[in-house]
Amino acid sequence: MSAPLAHFELMSENPEKMQSFYGGVFGWQFDANTMPGYTLVSTGAYPGGGLMKRPPQAPNSMMHVYFKVDSIDETMRKVEQGGGTLAVPRTPIPGVGCYAFFKDPEGVIVGLFEGPR
C-alpha cells in the first residue's frame, strides 16, 4: 500500500497575512469561497492545501501534512504496532472523505486522509 502526500494544511493566527506571505513567496492562489472558515490553497501542482485560523486547542501556528491511505483504520493499526499513538480519531468531512491524526514514536503529528467509500 502506498501513501502519497495528499494535502497540507496551515493553521495560522493571521490567515490573511499568510496568504500574502505564501502568495508572494511561492505564487500560491487562494479560494476562501468553497468552505466556510477554510481557504483552499492552489500551489499550481498536486497536492494543494488549506489555510485556516488556528483553533484554540492547537498549541501554536503549524503546518500539517496528510497522507492518502486506503483505510485509516488499517493504517492506525500499523501506527500503533510501530509505537505510534492516535492523536485525533477518524473524523468525517462531508462529501470529501475522512481524516485522522497520529503521533509517531517521537511525537510528530501526521495526518491521514481517506477518500469517500
CATH code 3.10.180.10 for 69-117? yes
Q: Write down the CATH superfamily of domain 1-68.
A: 2,3-Dihydroxybiphenyl 1,2-Dioxygenase, domain 1 (3.10.180.10)
Of 102, 34, 35, give the one whose Cα is nearest residue 69.
102
Give 53's strand partners: 12
What pLDDT digit, counting tens, does each position of 2-51 carry? 788 889 999 999 999 999 999 998 899 999 998 888 999 999 999 999 99
Q: Enumerate the domain spans of the chain.
A: 1-68, 69-117
In what order do the strands lie in the sheet containing 62-68?
A: 29-35, 38-42, 49-53, 5-12, 62-68, 109-114, 97-103, 85-93
Predicted TM-score (pTM) of the model is: 0.78
